Structure 1
Amino acid sequence: MKYFEEWKNTFLTEVGEIANFTVRFFREFFKPKQEFFEFLHQCYGIGYKTLPLVGITAFIMGLVLTIQSRPTLIEFGAESLLPSMVSVSLIREISPVITALICAGKIGSGMGAELGAMRVTEQIDAMEVSGTNPFKYLVVTRVMAAVLMLPVLSSLSNAISLYGGYLGVNLHGHVSWSLYWFQVFNALSYGDVVPALIKTFFFGFAIGIIGCYKGYHSKKGTEGVGRSATSAVIVASLSVFIIDLIAVQISDLLGLT
């Protein structure tokens, strides 16, 4: 019971600190003089350098989902519905969430480790002494880059995974290129595409905020840097699932599912 109370107090304290960190982010974001070139640099690091990993994962994901779904549909004589089923599954849920989890692992840990190393080596303190706003330069740019790049990566992941699905459909049969894409787009609707795209902005924001928070408040030297990177991945991944659950509930209430 004592352990549970300590865990609860620690959890509630951290939630409050993250909320305070988020409020500070919005306050700093609306202040003048945006760090535009640092923002572009972070977009390059988050978007372009993460694309190969996201692309390979998306391709395998679409291919495997198609191959695994075929036997079940054949049992019900519905093999012709395979492109439609795969497209809805990938666009609605699988592709955005898997992309966000990959980014939580790569981007979240990178932010936590990088800012944590800057904190323990007193580089952030030196920036404050020199008159630079380290929060705006280090945190705001990274969070905004994550918010912008997650939807882009998710959209590319959708396209690549659907192409993997096309190859999967043709491994044990033959569906023409035009027929496959006709069935894919015919199965998708506004309620499939738009909510899935909107929630990726929130995925990016959560990953950026948590990664930066963990690194910005890193302690205990190099050991703290490792802990910051690890906890950033865990908390960001959990946040992705929570946001996804909330998004699904909202979509259901609005009748978009």
Structure 2
Amino acid sequence: MVKAFSAYLIFLRAMFGNPIPYRMFLSRVAKECIQVGVDSLFIVCIISIFMGGATCIQLASQLTNPFITKDFIGIAVRNMTISELGPTVIGIVFTGKIGSSMASELGTMRISEQIDALEIMGVNANNYLVLPKIIATVLMYPFLVIIAMFLSIYGGFLSCKWLTSIPPQAYINGLRNAFDAYDVHVAIYKSLVYGFLISSIACYKGFSTKGGSLDVGKSSTSAVTNSGIAILIADLFLVYGLLSHRI
């Protein structure tokens, strides 16, 4: 594990040597932003709406205590969405789509010797192929998380209105009750870290692929698995570091 982590750090350091021309680099970043952000928007929207709706129904089914007001469902959906469901659950889904795609793309380029050809021509393949993917993911993933949080809360509202007996106004009152904007800041901080972890681990696994086409699939699977574990570990430390003053 220590050897693999050291190789990962060396891989990250190699991205900043012998940079490609500025305009070419920006073009690569813009292309990756479209692939990472725009192409992932549909699945993020669908998952967010149904995730918020299911959360609302689940909470509504458990509001049996007469001492708990109906407004609580809005508070619970809002806090769960902003603190965990938005950045973390979407991050796991994002890993399965974007992380596997990055690992497969770079793995295929590695076994087909395209990366070797770039290096022979004097191009820093890490800077040309990897760094734009990481920057694009770090830039676009927070926007996807913001959209996911909004749609998840709205999906909860739709479920509350059409699928439960709880008045929609009670849900809205709960959303407004005791709202702390710092929770949104925490979600953004987490999404920045998750974006970096997802892209860098996926690129590292794809870049270090050895063998044939079968090993590309193994690298893709390993990228998704390791990224998911990294997200959960980072989630624990980020939550403790950012919210420990409330404990």
Normalising by structure 2, we get a TM-score of: 0.92
Aligned to 1:23: 13
CA distance in 2, matches of 1:71, 1:53: 27
Q: Distance in 1 between matches of 2:83 and 2:34?
A: 27
Residue in 2 that maps onto 1:149: 140
Is contact 2:78-2:175 (8 Å) kept?
yes
Would the aligned equivalents of 1:63 and 1:161 in 2 still touch at CA under 8 Å? yes
Query: Aligned partner of 1:112: which letter?
Result: A
- Retained in 2: the 8 A contact 1:87–1:187? no
Does residue 1:86 correspond to 2:88, yes or no? no
Which residue of the partner structure matches residue 253 of structure 1?
244
How far 1:223 moved relative to its partner? 1.7
Contact 2:142-2:191 at 8 Å conserved across structures: yes
- Tell me how far apart the structure 1 counterparts of residues 157 and 19 of structure 2 sit (CA, whole Å): 45
Q: Is the 8 A contact 2:19 2:128 kept in 1?
A: no
1:18 CA displacement: 1.1
Aligned-residue sequence identity (percent) comes to 32
1:33 to 10, 22, 33: 22
User: Could you tell me how far 1:176 is from its partner in structure 2?
Assistant: 4.5
In structure 2, the CA distance between the partners of 1:39 and 1:29, relative to structure 1 (3 Å rule), is farther
* Structure-2 separation of matches of 1:186 and 1:78: 12
Distance, in Å, in 1 between the alignment partners of 2:219 and 2:21 is 30
Partner of residue 3, structure 2: 13
Q: TM-score, normalised by structure 1?
A: 0.88
Aligned pairs for 1:118-133 (under 5 A) are 118-133=109-124
The answer (yes or no) to whether the contact 1:146–1:208 under 8 Å persists in 2 is yes
CA distance in structure 2 between the partners assigned to 1:155 and 1:253 by the alignment: 23
Give, in angstroms, the shift of residue 132 of structure 1: 2.6
Where do 5+ consecutive residues of structure 1 fail to align? 1-10
Q: Residue 222 of structure 2 corresponds to which residue in structure 1? A: 231
163-172 vs 200-209, which deviates more? 163-172
Q: Deviations over 1:227-246 (max 9, x none)?
A: 11010000000011011001
